[in-house]
Structure 1
Amino acid sequence: MELYFTNRRRALAVGEVPGIERAELSDLFGRRLALDGTPVLLDLGMRPVEPVSSWFRHLALMGRSVKTMRKYAYVALRLSEFLSQAGTDLMSATETDLLEYRALRTREQPEPIAKTTWEAEATAINRLYAWLVAEGYVAARPWRGDGSRDSLRNSVTRDLRVRHMTLEQYQYFRDVGLAGQLPDGSVDRSFRGRSPHRSRAGAELGLLTGMRLGEWSTLLLPELDLDGARPREGVEIQLAACAKFGRSRTVYAPRAALELVRTYLLLERRHVVTAAQATLAKRRPDLFLVDADQDGRGKLRGVLEGRRVTRTIRHMPPELRAITVMDTGDGLEPLAVFVGLGGTMPHPSTWDKIRWRAWERMRLHAADLAAPIMPTQPWLFHDLRHTFALQLLRFLMLRAAQDGAQSGMPMSTLADHIAYNPLLIVQRRLGHASPATTYIYLRYLKDPMREVDEAFAAWAAQDELTYAEIGRELLTRGTEEGSGDATQR
């Protein structure tokens, strides 16, 4: 079995499909019967494997994101292949078959997955079988369960993993890992990384706004308003389609973050775009070509797939943002803030490679006296979001305490509590659906490792003595205490 994902533009570019006229093909894709990115599972004869492929289409029609469908597709592929090797299929599988699959994934394969990862996979399998039952393919799920618990799950609750950076760690990550400097701040002339200003600007934007990687890396130039904003101002960004679960929120980008973005635009981006003009020209029919004169109301007008359309920027998904360009008269200008080779928006996997290369550089210079303490696991771009949340929460709680002490009065009304509560403010800034998620950050307001260091500082000072000297001191102390007790008696 092979897993594929629909792509209307590629299919139309091929132009010829046996048994289907080009006009008919254009009509089929014009009706948008399947969302781009919808999985299709094919057998060796290139025929859709049912009922899995129909479930994929159901997910697309229900509005599942491309990212979610991709995750579910690989779960279904792995399970289908396992059942096929066991001589059965999805409709005939028993509870024993599925428990054996769980054992394979969590214990027996060369690199078993974590229990929390299995919980996510079990969720996909549950939803697959719920659909199979609803469509009448099977009478019931093949495993037992009572209420919220069932034999397929591990009943492991996934907790929010919060990792945050100190100022020294962040600067080391940004400047040494991403930008190629040396720990002492000097230029490393042996650095051969690509687009260090882009990586540095992205990290600063992620840290100072609290946005996720999928949010700040897909921003468009009109959203930052770098031409219109005064030098001493930040900008507010309206997020929607690129936010997690499409949940709308307003993000504030301060001046410091915008300044690094401006530096990247001036020193790197224009050269990348100039070098990509030939590639962009070839792709012109597949791009969203917006008009040079816009109304500045958060909308873009232009030509997409041969039709005049208007799109609201905050509702534009990442895949549309990646192909949005403007004809300036001197060439095509991508509207994405961050661009890579070919003038296209870097894929999440590209940012992941950038992060890994940064980690290797940081490890290379970790022994330098100017380097901070490194964690055991590589930093994630998402750790910038956690750092933002903790720094903002710590600042707001301290300010609330100071304001309360100065006024001598507690917050008098429920409205005051809601308006000025630090946790609720951070919840709104991060876009958490529930304050319970934000409460988890309270555990990390104080650094437990630093508290351990302080608690045992006096004990740790003994490490300059030899074991013999420590033993002699203890014996002497015990003798003196013993003689003192004898005298008292």
Structure 2
Amino acid sequence: MGTSSATTPRWRLFFHETASLLLDDELPVPPEVAEIVVAARSRPRRRSTPFFIGPEGVPDDIINDYFGPGGSGGRLAETSARSYAYDILVFLNILQQWNVDWRDASPAALGDVRTWRLYGQGNERPVGDSTWQRQAQAISSLYSWAATRGVQSPIPPSFDRSHRRVADPGSAYPRSKSIKWFTAAAIAQWVNLGLRGYLPDGSVDSSYRHRSGLRDGAFVRAAYGTGLRTQELGGLVIGAEWPAAPTGPYATLQLPDGLAKGGIGRPFWASAEALSAVHSYVSTDRRLAIETAHRRGVYQNLPDVLTLEERDSPRFAYDAAGRRLKLNLLTPFDRQRLFIRTKDVLEPAQLWLTEQGLPLPHTAWNRVFDRANSRVATMGVPMSRMTPHRLRHSFALKWFIIGRLLWIGRASTLSQAEADTLRDEMGSEWFLVQTLLGHRSVETTRNTYLEPFIGLDIESLLSQVQDKDAEQLLTLFLDKHPRVESRTSW
């Protein structure tokens, strides 16, 4: 099924902000819609609450109540609520182009949406299975809520969250085959080809013009070296939450509540490679972007700024009225307006910046990865698409295997007594990875991140390679695994 003309009236998405209700894009707002937005400002809503206006210019009370204080969407974290809102917006506008009201959508219409998103002829931006599963979860959540308001759900009970038929509706959801893992060598190759401007033969591509390769490569290494999610790594504050310079082979850091999934912070660990790569970016490209922004006056008269005072404890930020806010609780969107004041000069507090010296939204990393994947694909290199979350999966696999080495006494860097102590503390390699990822349940670690490797007979594989280091071991017994991306020949 195709889509109709772009002139079809569409759904509009707004967000409640501290000072105003902002549109999701910069398109002109009709006067009648502007009146609705102005009236909506007075409603008691938390910051960044989504607000939908239908194609006829009328707010949709059911969807807006879903994101309200009493709705299922209102209980989501701020970033999750935004993600759900954009996914629902796409769904609504596809139905609108087919002249289908979302309240009257049938299971067949829902199946058509899935087909269009994944495989639709003429769809210039098809999504992968994992992206559809995320979008389907938002759609399912909305319809579950709407059912309490009299809307019949088009999602049959015999379908799972990805809208695929299952034999037993009460059974566990089947895992997506789109999940991939990458070895360190494959990640390095992807960075060189996609972000640093190299060609498959190892030479430099003289036509490559991307200027943020150092930043982007540092982010990839930091993601693989910490296992953090995109919004977690993308929102960290330099100095207070990430060291400005390497402090040793590993750094023990604290993820703030405002960035952590579920709103509960936790310790995390950064590898030496991650620390070194980020330091190279901080001391060169990031510093240059800030100095250039100062010369251009970018930081002068910025609206709605939060400041960290150099002389004060980094635990608090201050708004324009002097109110003190806990840094630990600031959300990713709060951190977009967070600056450090040094000698009456403002500098962005967030670690990752744009070329213009402004905080980079964590959502922008998806575009960075998309661009790099497109570049790799044009070279004909047989590599799977890299995503930020696949780096997290790869981090999990690396530490699962290293943990197994420790548990069976094959790690040369630990004495037997040290290995015994670690086993007593952690329980098993599964709990080690669970701790590193910050999962509340070890079942999530086992069944979502590492399910294909539960039965991996590492002991027999290691019998021939006792003297290899951890990364060589990873390459050795993951090189032929069908769902693990390894380095290809140049």
TM over 0.5: yes
The aligned amino acid for 2:366 is: D
Aligned to 1:261: 278
Write the distance in 2 (CA, Å) between the matches of 1:84 and 1:190: 40
The aligned amino acid for 1:285 is: P
In the alignment, which of 398, 404, 407 is matched to residue 397 of structure 1? Answer: 404
Corresponding residue SS for 1:333: strand
Question: TM-score of the superposition, structure 1-length normalised?
Answer: 0.71
* Alpha-carbon displacement from aligned partner over 1:162-181 (angstroms, at most 9, x marks no partner): 42223332221223322224
Write the distance in 1 (CA, Å) between the matches of 2:161 and 2:359: 43
Aligned to 1:374: 382
Answer yes or no: is the 8 Å Cα contact 1:426–1:438 preserved in 2: yes
Aligned to 2:472: none
* Alpha-carbon displacement from aligned partner over 1:338-380 (angstroms, at most 9, x marks no partner): 10044322234532232233234434555xxxxxx632x3211
* Alpha-carbon displacement from aligned partner over 1:297-343 (angstroms, at most 9, x marks no partner): xx1232x2424213133x32100111110222363210111100443
The aligned amino acid for 2:113 is: R
- Label 1:263 to 1:59 Cα distance change in 2 as closer, same or farther (>3 A): same
Aligned to 2:336: 322
- 1:208 Cα deviation after fit: 1.1
Write the distance in 2 (CA, Å) between the matches of 1:257 and 1:223: 17
Larger helix percent: 1
Residues 194-203 or 99-108, more deviating: 99-108
Write the distance in 2 (CA, Å) between the matches of 1:260 and 1:431: 23
Q: Computing the radius of gyration over CA atoms, which structure comes out larger, 1 or 2?
A: 1
* Alpha-carbon displacement from aligned partner over 1:270-308 (angstroms, at most 9, x marks no partner): 111122234643452321122121225xx1232x24242
Write the distance in 2 (CA, Å) between the matches of 1:398 and 1:155: 40
- The reply on whether 1:3 has 2:12 as its aligned counterpart is yes
* Root mean square deviation of aligned Cα: 4.2
Corresponding residue SS for 2:408: helix
Residues 171-180 or 59-68, more deviating: 59-68
Answer yes or no: is the 8 Å Cα contact 2:308–2:338 preserved in 1: yes
In the alignment, which of 419, 423, 429 is matched to residue 430 of structure 2? Answer: 423
The aligned amino acid for 2:186 is: Q
Answer yes or no: is the 8 Å Cα contact 1:145–1:151 preserved in 2: no
Aligned ranges 1:141-160 → 2 under 5 Å: 141=152, 153-156=163-166, 157-159=173-175
Answer yes or no: is the 8 Å Cα contact 1:237–1:253 preserved in 2: no
- The reply on whether 1:62 has 2:75 as its aligned counterpart is yes
Write the distance in 2 (CA, Å) between the matches of 1:451 and 1:89: 43
Answer yes or no: is the 8 Å Cα contact 1:325–1:335 preserved in 2: yes
Question: TM-score of the superposition, structure 2-length normalised?
Answer: 0.71
Answer yes or no: is the 8 Å Cα contact 1:3–1:39 preserved in 2: no
Answer yes or no: is the 8 Å Cα contact 1:249–1:429 preserved in 2: no
Aligned ranges 1:88-103 → 2 under 5 Å: 90=103, 93=104, 97-103=105-111
Residues 423-432 or 344-353, more deviating: 344-353
* Alpha-carbon displacement from aligned partner over 1:48-79 (angstroms, at most 9, x marks no partner): 23333232323564344343344246436745
The aligned amino acid for 1:41 is: F
Q: Identity, % of aligned pairs?
A: 21
Residues 172-181 or 230-239, more deviating: 230-239
- 1:116 Cα deviation after fit: 7.0
In the alignment, which of 175, 183, 186 is matched to residue 192 of structure 2? Answer: 175
Answer yes or no: is the 8 Å Cα contact 1:4–1:39 preserved in 2: yes
Corresponding residue SS for 2:373: helix
In the alignment, which of 441, 447, 450 is matched to residue 480 of structure 2? Answer: 450
In the alignment, which of 259, 262, 269 is matched to residue 252 of structure 1? Answer: 269
- 1:89 Cα deviation after fit: 6.5
> Unaligned stretches of 5+ in structure 2?
1-9, 24-29, 33-37, 167-172, 459-476, 483-490
- The reply on whether 1:39 has 2:18 as its aligned counterpart is no
Aligned to 2:471: none
Write the distance in 2 (CA, Å) between the matches of 1:274 and 1:358: 27
- Label 1:11 to 1:342 Cα distance change in 2 as closer, same or farther (>3 A): farther
Write the distance in 2 (CA, Å) between the matches of 1:266 and 1:127: 44
Corresponding residue SS for 2:12: strand
Aligned to 1:236: 253
Corresponding residue SS for 1:106: helix
> Unaligned stretches of 5+ in structure 1?
20-24, 367-372, 453-489
Corresponding residue SS for 1:234: strand
* Alpha-carbon displacement from aligned partner over 1:205-250 (angstroms, at most 9, x marks no partner): 1111111222212211024553586455624232433233334321
Write the distance in 2 (CA, Å) between the matches of 1:355 and 1:12: 30
Aligned to 2:35: none
